[in-house]
């Protein structure tokens, strides 16, 4: 497995729409593994393929240590409630802000075996789902801020 370079703010790739995965190939499986290693190394809770320079609808999320959710072609199928919490991004280091996100979401995707899976997430997991799926459509957390960006020193 390999650590991948995380694309940073200012790179136009982050504003592009990712393409669906048509077939789960060994290359996609390797991408999932490498993204997990990269996310963990960067101390993140989620990573979208576009953040490592790959315009495919692939996401990894780990809000509970040891429980990595691998999502291929994910989509939010339901959401409810509202939360305003502090959020950051591996592609926008040292920037934080309060976002407006649903309190709970339901996501459907394919897993690495090509089977459809469904996850329900609340609070942090709901934010992570929304944040990473936004990346697949060229959106950043700064697009849904309530107020100004905060800078970490």
Complete DSSP assignment for 58-115: EEEEEEETTEEEEEEEEEEEEEE--EEEEEE-TTSTTEEEEEEE-SEEEEEEE-TTS-
Catalytic, out of 22, 85, 132, 150 = 132
Radius of gyration in angstroms for the set of CA atoms belonging to the chain, rounded to a whole number: 14
User: Both tokens of residue 139?
Assistant: 């959106």
Residue 147 CA to chain centroid, in angstroms?
Answer: 22
Is 132 known to be catalytic?
yes
* H helix or E strand, kind and range, residue 129: helix 124-136
CA–CA distance, 149 with 45 (Å, rounded to integer) = 20
Do residues 47 and 131 lie in contact, with contact meaning Cβ atoms separated by under 8 Å? Answer: no
The set of catalytic residues is 132
């Amino acid at each position: 497995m390999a650590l991948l370079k995380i694309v940073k703010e200012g790179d136009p790739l982050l504003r592009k729409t990712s393409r669906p995965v048509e077939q789960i190939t060994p290359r996609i499986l390797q991408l999932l593994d490498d993204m997990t290693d990269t996310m963990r190394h960067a101390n993140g809770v989620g990573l979208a393929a576009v953040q490592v320079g790959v315009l495919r609808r692939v996401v990894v999320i780990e809000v509970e240590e040891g429980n990595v959710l691998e999502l291929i072609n994910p989509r939010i199928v339901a959401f409810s409630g509202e939360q305003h919490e502090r959020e950051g991004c591996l592609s926008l280091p040292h920037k934080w802000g309060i976002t407006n996100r649903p309190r709970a979401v339901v996501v459907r995707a394919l897993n690495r075996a090509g089977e459809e899976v469904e996850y329900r997430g609340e609070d942090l997991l709901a934010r992570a789902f929304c944040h990473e799926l936004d990346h697949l459509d060229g959106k950043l957390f700064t697009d849904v801020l309530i107020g100004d960006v905060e800078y970490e020193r």
